[in-house]
Amino acid sequence: MSNARERLVDALYGAGWSTVKKLPEPVAVRLGHTIADLAWKRRGKSVLRLESNLARVVPDASPERLKQLSKAGMRSYLRYWMESFRLPSWSADRVRNGFDIDDAHLLTDGLASDKGVILALPHLGNWDLAGAWVTTKLETPFTTVAERLKPETLYDRFVAYRESLGMEVLPHEGGSAFGTLARRLRAGGLVCLVADRDLSESGVEVKFFGDTARMPAGPAILAQQTGALLLPVTLWYDESPVMRGRIHAPIEVPETGTRAEKTSVMTQALADAFATGIADHPEDWHMLQRLWLADLEERRP
Spatial CA neighbour of 272 closest among 209, 201, 178, 182? 209
Q: What is the pLDDT along the chain (301 residues), one digit of tens a residue?
A: 567 777 777 777 777 777 888 889 899 999 999 999 999 999 999 999 999 999 999 999 999 999 999 999 999 999 999 998 899 889 999 999 999 999 999 999 999 999 999 999 999 999 999 999 999 999 999 999 987 766 677 778 878 888 888 899 998 766 678 999 999 999 999 999 999 999 777 799 999 999 999 999 999 999 999 999 999 999 999 989 999 999 999 999 999 999 999 999 999 999 999 999 999 999 999 999 999 999 987 665 4
| Calpha distance 290→296 (Å, rounded) | 6
243-247 vs 99-102, strand pairing mode: parallel
Beta bridge partners of 207: 212
DSSP string, 39-104: HHHHT-HHHHHHHHHHHHHSTT--HHHHHHHHHHHHHHHHHHHHHHHHGGGS-HHHHHHSEEEETT
161, 88 contact by CB (below 8 A): yes
What are the CA-CA distances from residue 191 to residues 120, 194, 241 (Å)? 9, 10, 27
Neighbouring C-beta atoms of residue 189, cutoff 10 Å: 21
Can you give the pTM of this predicted structure?
0.93
